[in-house]
Amino acid sequence: MTRAAATLSLAFCLLLAGPVLRAEGANLNVTVHNLKNAEGQVIIAVFDSKENYLKKPVDERAVPITEELTGIAKFTDLTPGTYAVVAYHDKNENKDLDRLLVVPREAYGFSNDARGMFGPARFKSAAIEVGEKDMAIEIKAK
């Protein structure tokens, strides 16, 4: 077999096996809506466990607010598993959820539009399953 034929055969095999050999994880597209104005930015964070929830995100984005008053982020290469997503409208761009005593002063939300009784939603309530296929979720800021 000539070198050109061998190269062509290898390229054809890799083309056919490409979908099987996909090494990356899924993409998660998050849209945060119900923002009241376009001041500041939206912080969107993804957490992979109850232990890391609200402490150590696997990924976090600060995104601009669109004309439609939404914040949109794409998280790439997520390993299939259970995640929770948290978002808040960071009006003053200080990368903190501002509070008056313990009450948030900036709009926030969780995946599944989960809510906590006296504090943040629990990981279990906000948990979403990310599989091998790309997915999209929406979070309503309140």
CATH of region 24-140, choose from 3.30.110.60, 2.60.40.10, 1.10.3720.10, 1.10.760.10: 2.60.40.10
Using left for φ > 0, alpha for ψ between -120 and 50, and beta otherwise, residue 5 falls in alpha
**What's the start-to-end Cα distance of the chain, in Å?**
66
Percent of the chain with pLDDT over 70: 84
- Identify which of 68, 81, 72 has the alpha carbon closest to the alpha carbon of residue 128: 81
SS3 at position 138: strand
Q: What does pTM read for this prediction? A: 0.82
Q: Which two tokens stand for residue 67?
A: 């004309």
Which pLDDT does position 118 carry in this prediction? 84
Domain-wise residue ranges, the chain: 24-140
Please report, in tens digits, the pLDDT of each residue of the chain (142 residues total). Answer: 555 444 445 444 444 444 444 457 999 999 999 999 999 999 999 999 999 999 999 999 999 999 999 999 999 999 999 999 999 999 999 999 988 888 889 999 999 999 998 889 999 999 999 999 999 999 999 9
